[in-house]
Structure 1
């Protein structure tokens, strides 16, 4: 049974992401974990234990309130509550350990006008993407769920491995969705036929297509392609630092990211020598 972690800070943004995640995976009979982390900024305070206890109580109250709201919409979905003391990254890493939860997917919201804009502005979402090596789904604040039928995979066609392919293959098969690989043309030579054959081997019986676009602005090119082709989600690989950071480079202007809002799947590959 799949374990889906729904990160919350009790905001409407987080609640919307939780609803999105439950709607996506409820037919898979997954177990959901509503997860809240709280921390004390001034650890040297003599009242630290009192403050910590008060925050722990507030965390539990907030989780129970969110659970009540979610159960009104999803009365038959099993949702566990997890409250942890510490920084979000620290406690998530603990849950990823062998003694912890070991989630199959982490779902979180972002507050920007689009997922891309949110990353540019900096957020907890980007911190999670940078430091948590688990499959992630990042849901823009105003995005409502509709069953994804087309996923656009923005890639350089060179950084696909089992660690990336397996969770994506399982998700695409579960959704019965089409997977569209899109590569923004670069100066470096790519043997397209060989790359396509290699990638296709990871996704048997999945409807695949490969596309190459020429745009000096990678972010704009990917968003335009996704919008023009009716995509429901965009997939990115985190360990491909040069490609990833070119997409989210701070110099990209705000107007370039004010595109239709796409939830994003972030996958983490194994580092290559």
Structure 2
């Protein structure tokens, strides 16, 4: 498996890299995993931390960031097989290129929640990557605890599911020795048992140990957040039909404190 580790040298990126390292420690395919640290270099930087201030060209920045990337690689080589990819351009475009060149099977990205501005920028990066590639993305919030993913929740809208996604989920469950819970969110109580038996998803997971869970809410995102807050699973697997799904799920209103906002890793299958 080829895994891309997106890094901007922030605590969020370091946390995500540390988490995927810990998660894959017990995988039977551990020796077959190859990691690539990916950094998208922007030669123009702002005069200050204020986004509205004009930018200037810093010729020494490229060399400094390359050294940072190699230093980060050096600190990881003792525990994982890793190389680096350093390219000029916005991170989503650099990752899109890396996915093709490295034949990546998974992209790991950190997300941070310290401020509204950071949440918007990081969330937008991940959402844009999701639109550009068809590779699974593991988004790990800075607040998420690094632990084995024994309890996995898959969101379902009872629509058809890509067979490649089925294979990926089954392999993920096997590697993590995880239990699968399929979450259905609807605005009213329906005859779910009859509906589920008619779906391709039910057929594909018939030989995989799993449970079906139901939440009634007219807002699917709020329903997912409610379930996560109550059940506290280790991972959410999302099959977003709506490209704004990630932003809706990860964004917290500046004025409203959402009790059930997501603080667990999300595996996005575009």
Please classify the TM superposition score into its range, dividing by the shorter chain length. 0.7 to 0.9
Aligned residue pairs, count = 252
Give the deviation of 1:218 after TM superposition: 2.7
Give the deviation of 1:245 after TM superposition: 7.3
TM-score by length of 2: 0.80
Residues 23/245 of structure 1: CA separation in 2 closer, same or farther (3 Å cut)? closer
Give the structure 1 partner of residue 224 of structure 2.
222
Secondary structure (helix, strand or coil) at the match of 1:152 reads: strand
1:74-89 matches, cutoff 5 A: 75-89=78-92
Give the structure 2 partner of residue 62 of structure 1.
68
Residues 113/148 of structure 1: CA separation in 2 closer, same or farther (3 Å cut)? farther
Structure 1 window deviating more from structure 2 (10-19 vs 257-266): it is 257-266
Give the structure 2 partner of residue 271 of structure 1.
none
Q: Distance in 2 between matches of 1:246 and 1:110?
A: 11
The root-mean-square deviation of aligned C-alpha atoms, in Å, is 3.2
Give the deviation of 1:135 after TM superposition: 0.2
Give the structure 2 partner of residue 127 of structure 1.
128
Give the deviation of 1:70 after TM superposition: 3.3
Residues 246/35 of structure 1: CA separation in 2 closer, same or farther (3 Å cut)? closer
Query: Structure 2: which 5+ runs fail to align?
Result: 46-55
- CA offsets per residue over residues 147-198 of structure 1, 9 Å max, x none? 0111111221214121321211111111111111111114797864353462
Matched-pair contact (CA < 8 Å) for 1:39–1:85: yes
Matched-pair contact (CA < 8 Å) for 1:223–1:259: yes
Give the deviation of 1:109 after TM superposition: 0.4
1:12-161 matches, cutoff 5 A: 12-26=11-25, 27=27, 28-29=30-31, 30-41=33-44, 51=59, 54-71=60-77, 75-97=78-100, 100-112=101-113, 118=119, 122-161=123-162
Secondary structure (helix, strand or coil) at the match of 2:204 reads: coil
Secondary structure (helix, strand or coil) at the match of 2:9 reads: coil
2:257 is the alignment partner of 1:259? no
Give the deviation of 1:256 after TM superposition: 2.6
Query: Structure 1: which 5+ runs fail to align?
Result: 269-273
2:219 is the alignment partner of 1:212? no
Residues 242/33 of structure 1: CA separation in 2 closer, same or farther (3 Å cut)? closer
Matched-pair contact (CA < 8 Å) for 1:105–1:135: yes
Residues 259/125 of structure 1: CA separation in 2 closer, same or farther (3 Å cut)? same
Secondary structure (helix, strand or coil) at the match of 1:96 reads: helix
Give the structure 1 partner of residue 2 of structure 2.
3
